[in-house]
Amino acid sequence: MIIGSISEDISIEKRVAITPDIIKKYKSLGLEIHLIKNYANHLGINDKEYEAEGAKIIENEDEVISSSNAILQMSILNQNNLKKLKEKQILIGVLNPYSNEKKIKELISKNIDCFSLELLPRITRAQSMDILSSQANLAGYKAVVDSFAFYQKAIPMMMTAAGTISAAKVLVVGAGVAGLQAIATAKRMGAIVFATDVRIASKEQVESLGGKFLIVEGAENLETEGGYAKETSDDFKKKQEDLLKETLKKIDIVICTALIPGKKAPVIIKKNMIEGMQSGSVIYDLAASQGGNAELTKVNEITNINGVQIMGDSNILNKLPVSASNLYSKNMFNFISNLFNKEKKVFEINLEDEIIEKTKVK
């Protein structure tokens, strides 16, 4: 059986689904690896590194696709390459079925099995495959590093003969994986950190990292069985707005990480709140590609509102593509290992397995 992968459009996505260090593990399962020529050159990884581990480098995209039983990607293939997929092939990646519904329906109608890894269930057995966690962890770290670099003052408190510089105050909106990493990174760099989340269960995690948790009066735990945030009531939103409006007047840097899978990002930082912030403050909105947590976020732009800078990267992990690819390729291998029947040496779609059933796009 053969797994293959072709290049992404690197102007949009620099991460790759297979790194050289994981190929030996695929080979140990009895799988062959076919990759397009110059597959990861943009990451400083040349074809010889892949060949040394046992991958086959092919010059033609069509041949990679036609020869592979399973195609492993970071994101969904372009329309031209999707047309080349054949019956009984498998496509695995972050397919974003809510945005690519039409494309995926066409594939399913051709009897092509599609698996979207962002749909993995939050169960213990799936942790090693959890691409949302591995990638969000890096995103939370990088958002803090970038916003601190952009902020034009020192971050930690400094006592000098000329006077004292106060520590920067950071607010992290959303205390999931990205938010918790943002809190930890900001604390390590000397900031005073506050955080807010609709899930009260997050309070203990935030405080264990040295952050101060902002609780909305009368809040209840708005968490799904899968561990994600639920949409909030109008009453909760009003109380949250009042709390944030006052808090933001004293905040220097805001890191927005709040997302609801498959839906538009909740707008938490409203225009009137931004207008009340201090000039020179920075908002880094990790939810930009899904509409943004800040009302005035623009994708891939830096917006200036009365001296408050709002940063909205569509894919912050393009700034850490090597680290992100290394983690993603390990997540992908663990998923493949679960999908592949090692005795029969075939891919086996067992819908009684919760991991397979939840990630298979229907």
Catalytic residue among 113, 130, 197, 313: 130
Q: Would the pLDDT of 230 be above 60?
A: no
Catalytic residue among 5, 7, 133, 147: 133
Query: What is the structure's pLDDT at 256?
Result: 97
Note whether 2-119+320-359 and 136-318 share their fold. Answer: yes
Active site residue 130: yes
CB 302 within 8 A of CB 311: yes
Catalytic residue among 98, 146, 228, 323: 228
Active site residue 127: yes
Handedness of CA 77, 359, 74, 291 (dihedral sign): positive
Percent of the chain topping pLDDT 70:
95
- Rounded distance between C-alpha atoms, residue 203 and residue 35, angstroms: 45
Query: What is the structure's pLDDT at 186?
Result: 98
Q: Would the pLDDT of 219 be above 80?
A: no
Q: Name which residue leads in pLDDT, 356 or 199.
A: 356
What does the pLDDT look like over 135-171, one tens digit per residue? 999 999 999 999 999 999 999 999 999 999 999 999 9
| CATH number assigned to the domain with residue range 2-119+320-359, chosen from the 4 options 3.40.50.720, 3.40.470.10, 3.50.50.60, 3.90.1570.10 | 3.40.50.720
Catalytic residue among 62, 99, 125, 127: 127
Catalytic residue among 67, 122, 278, 323: 122
227 to each of 13, 43, 125, 176, 224, how far by Cα in Å? 28, 34, 15, 9, 5
54 Cβ neighbours under 8 A, 6+ residues apart: 23, 24, 27, 33
66 to each of 73, 95, 116, 308, 333, how far by Cα in Å? 15, 20, 21, 51, 21
316 Cβ neighbours under 8 A, 6+ residues apart: 139, 142, 143, 146, 286
- Rounded distance between C-alpha atoms, residue 230 and residue 176, angstroms: 13
User: What is the overall mean pLDDT for the chain?
Assistant: 93
Query: What is the structure's pLDDT at 215?
Result: 85
Query: What is the structure's pLDDT at 238?
Result: 83
**What is the pLDDT averaged over residues 24-47?**
97
The closest of 143, 156, 165, 163 to 187, measured between CA atoms, is: 156
The topology (CATH level 3) of 136-318 is: Rossmann fold (3.40.50)
What does the pLDDT look like over 106-119, one tens digit per residue? 999 999 999 999 99
Q: Would the pLDDT of 227 be above 60?
A: no
For the chain, domain boundaries: 2-119+320-359, 136-318
